[in-house]
Amino acid sequence: MVATVRTPWQQLWVQWVSLQDLSLHAVDEPELLAEVTDELTRLELDIFEAVRRACDTLPIRFVDIPDNITAPTIGEANFRRYCLPSYQRLPRCCPSVT
């Protein structure tokens, strides 16, 4: 098993601010929130690249994204915008993971 980081939205919610504050930031400071999530996504991609290299050389059976988030919590639009892309990127990084 290999573990990655939480998705950017989940990192912000769990490690940086509360869900309520994050929701307020999304309304009050959307440009800043976009900048922060872009940077967290860049870091996530670096981690996914390391996972890809590991999958190329080791018999990794699954990869863990330690999120615990559902669309009803943040709304479907935010889920699709902030979480779903991460979930879709990882399988492309490691197609051999079952």
Interval 3-40: pLDDT, tens: 888 888 889 988 999 989 998 998 999 999 999 999 99
CA distances from 24 to 17, 63, 73 (A): 10, 32, 14
Collapse the DSSP code of 71 into the 3-class scheme (helix H, G, I; strand E, B; otherwise coil) and give the result. Answer: helix
Of residues 42 and 90, more confidently modeled: 42
Of residues 89 and 96, more confidently modeled: 89
Q: Show Cβ contacts of residue 82 under 8 Å, excluding neighbours closer than 6 positions.
A: 7, 8, 9, 37, 74
**pLDDT tens digits, 66-77:** 887 767 788 888
Tell me the CA end-to-end span of the chain in Å, nearest whole number.
Answer: 11
